Chain A
Amino acid sequence: MRVDPNYISNLVSSLDQTQLTEQQLTAELSSGVRVNSLSQDPVSSGENVLLLNQIQQDDSFTQSSNLVTGQLQVADSTLGSVVSQLTQAISLATSANNGTLNSSDVRSISSQISGILDEVQGLANTSYQGQYIFAGGQTSTTPFATSTSTSPAVTTYKGDEDVNYLQTPNGQKIQLNVPGDQIFSASGSNSVFGALNNLVADYSSGSVDTAKAVSDTEALGTALNYVSQQRVTIDNSITQLTAASDAVTGNQTQLTAAQTNLMQADVAQVSTQLSLSETQQTALEDVISRLGSGSLFDKLPN
Chain B
Amino acid sequence: MGTINSAFSLISGALDADQAALNVVANNVANANTPGYTEETPNWQENQPITINGVSYGAGVTETGATSVRDRVLTERLDQQQQLASASGSRLTALNTLQALFTPDSGSTSARAGDIGSDLTSFFSSFSSLEANPTNNALRQQVLSTATTLAGDVSNAAASLNSQRSALDQEASGVTSQVNALTGAIAQLNRQIQSTSPNADAGTLEDQRQQDLSQLSQLIGINQITTENNGLSITTTSGQLLVSEGSSFQLTTGTVNGVTDFFLGGTDITSQLTGGGGELGGYLTARDQDIPNVLSSLDQLAYGVSTEVNTLNNAGTDLDGVSGTAAKPLYIFNQPTVVAGSAANMSVVMTDPNQIAAAGLGQGTGDNSNATTMANLANQSIVNGQTPTDYYSSFVSTLGSTVSSVQTENTAQNASVTQLQTQNNALSSVNLNDEASSMTTLERSYQAASQVFAMLNTIMASALNLGDQTTVA
A286 at interface by CB-CB < 8 Å: no
A49→B368 contact, CB < 8 A: no
With A139-B365, A166-B131 as contacts: A46 and B425 at CB distance below 8 Å: no
With A52-B107, A61-B128 as contacts: A300 and B392 at CB distance below 8 Å: no
* A263: contacting residue among B107, B126, B372, B436, CB under 8 A: B107
With A48-B105, A50-B390, A136-B364 as contacts: A67 and B132 at CB distance below 8 Å: yes
User: Which of B95, B133, B134, B425 has the most CB atoms of chain A within a 10 A radius of its CB?
Assistant: B133
For B111-152 the 0/1 string (1 means CB < 8 A from A) is 000000110111011101101111110000000000000000
B403 at interface by CB-CB < 8 Å: yes
Q: Which of B365-392 contact A (CB under 8 A)?
A: 365-369, 372, 375-376, 378, 389-390, 392
| Bound form: Cα–Cα A115–B401 in Å | 75
A122 at interface by CB-CB < 8 Å: no
With A39-B404, A162-B364, A296-B437 as contacts: A5 and B432 at CB distance below 8 Å: yes
With A53-B117, A295-B433, A300-B440 as contacts: A48 and B104 at CB distance below 8 Å: yes
With A53-B389, A67-B132 as contacts: A42 and B401 at CB distance below 8 Å: yes
Q: Which residue of B lies closest to A263 (CB)?
A: B106
| Bound form: Cα–Cα A168–B4 in Å | 116
For A281-300 the 0/1 string (1 means CB < 8 A from B) is 00000000000000111011
| Bound form: Cα–Cα A44–B397 in Å | 8
**Which residues of B are found within 8 Å of A167, using beta-carbon distances?**
128, 131, 372, 375-376
Total interface residues in chain B, CB < 8 Å: 69
| Bound form: Cα–Cα A179–B69 in Å | 98
A273 at interface by CB-CB < 8 Å: no
A64 at interface by CB-CB < 8 Å: yes
**Which residues of A are found within 8 Å of B393, using beta-carbon distances?**
46-47, 49-50
* B103: contacting residue among A37, A64, A162, A300, CB under 8 A: A37
A53→B128 contact, CB < 8 A: no
**Which residues of A are found within 8 Å of B403, using beta-carbon distances?**
37-39, 42
A37→B106 contact, CB < 8 A: no
B348 at interface by CB-CB < 8 Å: no
B182 at interface by CB-CB < 8 Å: no
For B394-407 the 0/1 string (1 means CB < 8 A from A) is 10111111011001
Q: Which residue of A lies closest to B358 (CB)?
A: A164
B104→A38 contact, CB < 8 A: yes
For A34-62 the 0/1 string (1 means CB < 8 A from B) is 01111111111111111111011101110
| Bound form: Cα–Cα A72–B88 in Å | 62
With A42-B396, A138-B364, A140-B366 as contacts: A60 and B129 at CB distance below 8 Å: yes
B433→A162 contact, CB < 8 A: no
**Minimum distance in angstroms from A254 CB to a CB of chain B:** 14
Stretch from A6-14, A84-92, A224-232 contacting the other chain: A6-14
B430 at interface by CB-CB < 8 Å: yes
* B131: contacting residue among A43, A56, A64, A137, CB under 8 A: A64
**Which residues of B are found within 8 Å of A6, using beta-carbon distances?**
425, 429
B397→A56 contact, CB < 8 A: no
A129→B136 contact, CB < 8 A: yes
**Minimum distance in angstroms from A70 CB to a CB of chain B:** 10
* B135: contacting residue among A40, A139, A160, A166, CB under 8 A: A139
* B436: contacting residue among A37, A40, A51, A300, CB under 8 A: A300
* B105: contacting residue among A13, A42, A52, A129, CB under 8 A: A52
**Which residues of A are found within 8 Å of B364, using beta-carbon distances?**
135-141, 159-160, 162
**Which residues of A are found within 8 Å of B396, using beta-carbon distances?**
38, 42, 45-46, 49
Interface of A is mostly: helix
**Minimum distance in angstroms from B265 CB to a CB of chain A:** 39
A-B contact count (CB 8 A): 203
Q: Which of A241-294 contact B (CB under 8 A)?
A: 256, 259-260, 263
* B367: contacting residue among A44, A130, A137, CB under 8 A: A137
* B117: contacting residue among A5, A41, A49, A60, CB under 8 A: A49
User: Which of B107, B393, B423, B429 has the most CB atoms of chain A within a 10 A radius of its CB?
Assistant: B107
With A38-B102, A42-B397, A135-B366 as contacts: A259 and B430 at CB distance below 8 Å: no
For A58-85 the 0/1 string (1 means CB < 8 A from B) is 0111011101100100000000000000
A4→B389 contact, CB < 8 A: no
A3 at interface by CB-CB < 8 Å: yes
**Which residues of B are found within 8 Å of A63, using beta-carbon distances?**
129
Q: Which residue of A lies closest to B363 (CB)?
A: A137
**Which residues of B are found within 8 Å of A132, using beta-carbon distances?**
366
**Minimum distance in angstroms from B167 CB to a CB of chain A:** 20
For B161-201 the 0/1 string (1 means CB < 8 A from A) is 00000000000000000000000000000000000000000
B460 at interface by CB-CB < 8 Å: no
Q: Which of B403-433 contact A (CB under 8 A)?
A: 403-404, 407, 418, 421-423, 425-427, 429-433
A46→B394 contact, CB < 8 A: yes
| Bound form: Cα–Cα A46–B266 in Å | 45
**Which residues of A are found within 8 Å of B392, using beta-carbon distances?**
49
**Which residues of A are found within 8 Å of B376, using beta-carbon distances?**
167
With A7-B422, A57-B125 as contacts: A137 and B117 at CB distance below 8 Å: no
**Which residues of B are found within 8 Å of A260, using beta-carbon distances?**
107
**Minimum distance in angstroms from B25 CB to a CB of chain A:** 11
B99 at interface by CB-CB < 8 Å: yes
**Which residues of B are found within 8 Å of A56, using beta-carbon distances?**
118, 121-122, 125
A131 at interface by CB-CB < 8 Å: yes
**Minimum distance in angstroms from B359 CB to a CB of chain A:** 7
B366→A137 contact, CB < 8 A: yes
| Bound form: Cα–Cα A187–B136 in Å | 33
Give 10 nearest A-B pairs by CB, closest first: A139-B366, A42-B400, A137-B364, A38-B400, A46-B397, A296-B436, A39-B403, A60-B125, A138-B364, A295-B432
**A37-B103, A164-B367, A164-B369 provided; 10 other pairs, C-beta below 8 A?**
A42-B401, A46-B394, A47-B393, A64-B132, A140-B364, A141-B364, A162-B366, A162-B367, A176-B132, A296-B436
Would you list 8 pairs from A and B whose C-beta atoms are within 8 A, ordered by A residue? A5-B431, A41-B400, A46-B394, A67-B129, A141-B364, A167-B376, A256-B107, A263-B104
Which A residues contact B (CB, under 8 angstroms)? Answer: 2-7, 10, 13, 31-33, 35-53, 55-57, 59-61, 63-65, 67-68, 71, 129-132, 135-141, 159-160, 162, 164-167, 176, 256, 259-260, 263, 295-297, 299-300
